Amino acid sequence: MSTTAAPTRTERLAAGTADYLDQRTGLGAAVKTFARKIFPDHWSFLLGEIALYSFITLIISGIFLTMFFVPSMTETVYHGPWASLNGVQMSEAFSSTLRLSFEVRGGLLMRQIHHWAALIFMASIVTHMFRIFFTGAFRKPRELNWLVGFTLLILGLLAGFSGYSLPDDVLSGNGLRIADGVALAVPIIGTYASYLLFGGQFPGQDLIPRLFTVHILVVPGLILALIGLHLFFVVLHKHTQYPGSGRSNKNVVGYPLFPIYVAKAGGYFFLVFGVIALMGATMSINPVWSYGPFDPSPVSAGAQPDWYMLFLEGALRLMPGQAEIVIGGFTLSLNIIVPAMIVPGVLFTALAIYPFLEAWVTGDKREHHLLDRPRNRPFRTGFGVSLLVAFLILVLAGSNDLIATHFHLSINDITWAFRVLIFVGPWFAFWVTKRICLGLQRKDRELVLHGHETGRIVRFASGEYIEVHKPLDAHERWIRVQHDAIRPLEIEPAEDSRGVRRKGYRIDRMRQRISTVFYEDRVEPVTPAELAAAHSHGEHDSLAAADAHAEVTAGVGAGVVSDGRDHLSADARDH
């Protein structure tokens, strides 16, 4: 006879609260549906979670800093524990930053946690976006979600720039001076833009309060809204997954959100937060007391912004200063317009529109939930690597003074080397990456057709020597043959049967040319006929079959059982 224990008071209270909320909000059905949502398990999916958890860390530490920071450019005289700045005139913003660092308990720790979290937030967004780019996770129906992520990247840049400009120290002041120069370089309206931005002549009195509002209210609010939209799209479209046995565009292989991923997410948040807190406690960053309050005169080597804005600094340093032209009485400062507007405009525009360009070129309107192996899309992978190389070259160019001082080199020689590399480097990286991808595809073909090399040499009675190859199992073969063979577009003739020129031919011809650039160089996946022909070797097959039989026998003797291989083999043959 068994008895059931009566529910405790806490259990009754929890059940009653849940029932109350469910009857008034219908929350139970939503929680039930969401808790059963299946998510695949792969380490690369954690990159987006790092971005989310570092942003939560930014909010927590930012609330603390807001309590003590004074967003004012009113002049004051500092009197505090940092002796070297005693009696120095500075803004209230810089003075409150010093107070946060040396007088508020835990203030310096929170400042450094906030700064490290910002750097990790941007790094995880960039890494997450390129994981999506290289695996083709931006394809239908996720093009809009790609734009949401791209907008989050731009907002992250704006949040970072507005944040490290707030202390009003020499380093942040130099960054703001560059921003003022960029605003002034805008044709026709440049002076008006600078006046509106700074509330008068640089630096004015209104910029820090305005940046403070942007940094703690406008940008975080937009980021929170877009993160919610981004997660909504993830749930709506279901999660992408890497190709493998039993995985298709019609299913998701993984674990439910509750309780597995809820527990994992909670633990992972504390892990990310712990790492950021450890970095903040042990690794100094942005020591504003070493720079002093903003003064336009002391500019020296080592005046670099945070890494995610360093590419703009590098572009400005590479552009010759004499690049100015006068048109109709207006001076066009190409030495600023090109590096500060055109270069980032080209990089970001190419990144934003690529999903739509690829869909237009291929004419593919299917939904895709299986990810690509980067080697199977050589052009896309090469293009992404070329963007990364261009970004890296600009980042290094932004540190040309540090490279010169540390390695005792000529800064002029370094600058000219980077000017050449910015044109040659991305093209060379694209060519090398594309060749590597095609080589890996050929290697996959060889493995599917002939199997893995074993190093075992056998001699037949006829005197022939062969190396015994181990055939791929159905799981491994499926991964190497499941991708589609995309070929350049074929279009209709320019004229119909009556000799009338077809409308839209020019656009179709342009699509065909771009498609040829994308997919002319390719390696076709192995077909069932090729696989059958490769395995028709007479006594060679008999030898391989004997080896396979011996392995199966050994596996059964060790307690190994079959796991649906026959079905997977059929899938591979059908493909």
pLDDT score recorded for residue 439: 95
Q: Which regions of the chain are under pLDDT 50?
A: 538-539, 548-575
With respect to residue 106, please indicate whether it lies within any of the assigned structural domains. Answer: yes
Among the candidates 372, 399, 429, a domain finishes at 372
The Cα–Cα gap between 161 and 309 comes to 8
- pLDDT, residue 554, reads 40
In-domain check, residue 398: no
pLDDT in tens, 2-34: 566 677 777 778 778 877 877 777 777 777 777
Say what the pLDDT of residue 557 is. 36
Which of 346, 372, 398 represents a domain boundary (last residue)? 372
Range of the domain at 133: 43-69+82-288+298-372
**Are 449 and 537 in a shared domain?**
yes
Residues 443 and 367 in one domain: no
- Cis amide bond preceding 203, omega within 30: yes
Handedness of CA 154, 160, 166, 171 (dihedral sign): negative
pLDDT at residue 291, rounded to an integer: 85
Q: Is residue 110 part of a domain?
A: yes
**367 and 223 within one domain:** yes
Is 392 part of a structural domain of the chain? no
Q: How is residue 371 written in tokens?
A: 């990810």
CA distances from 382 to 298, 350, 386, 424, 444 (A): 43, 14, 6, 14, 19
Average pLDDT, the chain: 85
Could you tell me if 214 and 314 lie in one domain?
Answer: yes
237 and 149, same structural domain? yes
Give the number of domains in the chain.
2
pLDDT at 487: 85
User: Domain for residue 403, yes or no?
Assistant: no
Within this chain, do residues 341 and 481 fall inside the same structural domain, yes or no? no
Q: Is 488 within 8 Å of 516 (Cβ atoms)?
A: yes
| Amino acid found at 25 | T
The SS3 assignment for 194 reads helix
Cα separation, 44 vs 19, whole angstroms = 38
Residues 359, 465, single domain; the answer is no
Residue 312 C-alpha from the chain's centroid: 18
| Cα 67 to Cα 430: distance, rounded to the nearest angstrom | 49
What CATH number does residue 127 fall under? 1.20.810.10
- Would residue 161 count as lying in a domain? yes
Sequence-distant (6+) residues with CB within 8 A of 37 are: 235, 238, 256, 257
Q: Which of these three, 372, 398, 414, is where a domain ends?
A: 372
Is 459 found in the same domain as 320?
no
Would you tell me the crossing angle of helices 219-237 and 46-66 to the nearest 10 degrees?
Answer: 160
35 located within any domain: no
In a domain, 210, yes or no: yes
Q: Kindly state whether residues 241 and 127 are assigned to the same domain.
A: yes
